[in-house]
């Protein structure tokens, strides 16, 4: 209990901005102590970004010190009350360090040597060879939609533009929606999940099959809004997803495969080089 009172009192003391400032000016002096552990001013170097106001700088330092104290106190409490094998802990720490060093090297290798350019033909070939892996989990469609307040002007003309396939009318509709629509998307060339449409339109009154019909046009309203939907194309859940919908996904798959191969090739190369140089030896019982 006395130890904890000491820590609490010490935390109150170091909360003084002037105390911290004076300590930081002497880098070899301790700024905090918990039991037999010291935190030195030199360990706080680089903690505060350049240009940070004085008050904010002191707050950052003060928070760091107090967090350091809290961690040290809790660690001591854990060490006093938990049975553990010091050798096992050390082994785990060494394994963790090794993993971090290797991971850092792999990331550096990937950044320097990974080819991230994927040709369209490569994407197409991968898709054709793995179509069964691209089964849709949810229905998708190509289409346009707009949610327009009933108070908006020229709604009849907007409806006419929405049905039209003329470029001039599409441009007029785009301008109109920018001014009046609450939510809209007029790009009917890109696949998207039906869920996206359901999230902005109260389509629960319709069945999925009544919405997903090619060249389907839906026009309905409630007390506040007019809802316009035009379906150009669609595919149901469990259908094979179209290539254009999977392009980005496949590109990422290919790049990730290249990444794994690059790392694996590096590991094999390093291992073989060490073997050829006699840098390691496996000792058997008979020896």
Residue 94 belongs to what H/E stretch?
Answer: helix 86-113
Query: What is the distance between the alpha carbons of residues 275 and 11, in angstroms, rounded to a whole number?
Result: 56
Nearest CA-CA partner of 69 in 140, 128, 6: 6
Residue 85 burial (CB count, 10 A): 9
Q: Which two tokens stand for residue 180?
A: 């009046």
In angstroms, the Cα distances linking 52 to 37, 47, 58, 62, 65 are 29, 11, 10, 14, 18
The proportion of the chain whose per-residue pLDDT surpasses 90, expressed as a percent, equals 76
Q: Strand, coil or helix: what is 47?
A: coil
Query: What is the distance between the alpha carbons of residues 281 and 275, in angstroms, rounded to a whole number?
Result: 8
pLDDT tens for 75-91 read 999 988 988 888 998 99
Nearest CA-CA partner of 193 in 227, 151, 241, 159: 241
Q: Which two tokens stand for residue 166?
A: 């003329």
pLDDT at 2 over 50: no
In angstroms, the Cα distances linking 233 to 144, 190, 214 are 11, 10, 5
- Torsion angle, CA of 108/113/119/123, rounded to 10 degrees? -50
Q: In the prediction, which pLDDT does 86 show? A: 85
Q: What is the pTM of this model?
A: 0.73
Instruction: Kindly report the CATH number that applies to the domain delimited by 136-235.
Output: 3.10.50
pLDDT at 37 over 60: yes
pLDDT at 281 over 80: yes
Q: In the prediction, which pLDDT does 179 show? A: 97
- Torsion angle, CA of 156/159/160/162, rounded to 10 degrees? 160
Query: What is the distance between the alpha carbons of residues 44 and 59, in angstroms, rounded to a whole number?
Result: 13
Domain spans in the chain, listed from the N-terminal domain onward: 2-82, 136-235
Nearest CA-CA partner of 232 in 278, 277, 171, 186: 186
**Could you give the residue ranges of the DSSP H alpha helices within 241-283?**
243-276
pLDDT tens for 88-116 read 989 999 999 999 999 999 999 999 999 99
Q: In the prediction, which pLDDT does 200 show? A: 93
Beta carbons of 222 and 241 less than 8 angstroms apart:
no
Residue 27 burial (CB count, 10 A): 13
Query: What is the distance between the alpha carbons of residues 65 and 16, in angstroms, rounded to a whole number?
Result: 12
Q: In the prediction, which pLDDT does 22 show? A: 55
């Amino acid at each position: 209990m006395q130890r904890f009172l000491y820590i609490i009192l010490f935390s109150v003391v170091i909360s003084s901005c002037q105390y911290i400032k004076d300590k930081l000016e002497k880098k070899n002096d301790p700024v905090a102590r918990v039991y037999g552990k010291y935190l030195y001013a030199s360990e706080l170097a680089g903690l505060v970004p350049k240009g940070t106001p004085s008050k904010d700088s002191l707050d950052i330092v003060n928070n760091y010190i107090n967090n350091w104290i809290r961690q040290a106190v809790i660690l001591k409490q854990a060490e006093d009350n938990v049975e553990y094998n010091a050798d096992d802990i050390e082994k785990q720490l060494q394994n963790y360090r090794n993993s971090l060093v290797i991971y850092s090297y792999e990331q550096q290798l990937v950044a320097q040597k990974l080819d991230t350019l994927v040709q369209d033909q490569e994407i197409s070939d991968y898709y054709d060879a793995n179509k069964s892996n691209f089964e849709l989990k949810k229905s998708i469609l190509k289409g346009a939609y707009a949610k327009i307040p009933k108070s908006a002007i020229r709604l009849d003309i907007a409806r006419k533009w929405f049905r039209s396939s003329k470029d001039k009318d599409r441009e007029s509709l785009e301008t109109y929606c920018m001014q009046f629509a609450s939510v809209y998307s007029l790009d009917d060339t890109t696949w998207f999940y039906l869920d996206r449409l359901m999230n902005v339109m109260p389509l629960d009154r319709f069945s999925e099959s009544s919405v997903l019909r090619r060249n389907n046009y839906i026009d309905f309203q409630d007390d506040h809004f007019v809802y316009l939907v035009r379906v150009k194309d669609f595919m149901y859940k469990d259908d094979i997803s179209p290539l254009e919908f999977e392009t980005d996904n496949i590109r990422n798959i290919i790049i990730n495969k290249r990444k794994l191969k690059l790392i694996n090739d590096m590991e094999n190369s390093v291992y073989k080089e060490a073997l050829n140089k006699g840098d390691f030896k496996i000792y058997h019982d008979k020896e």
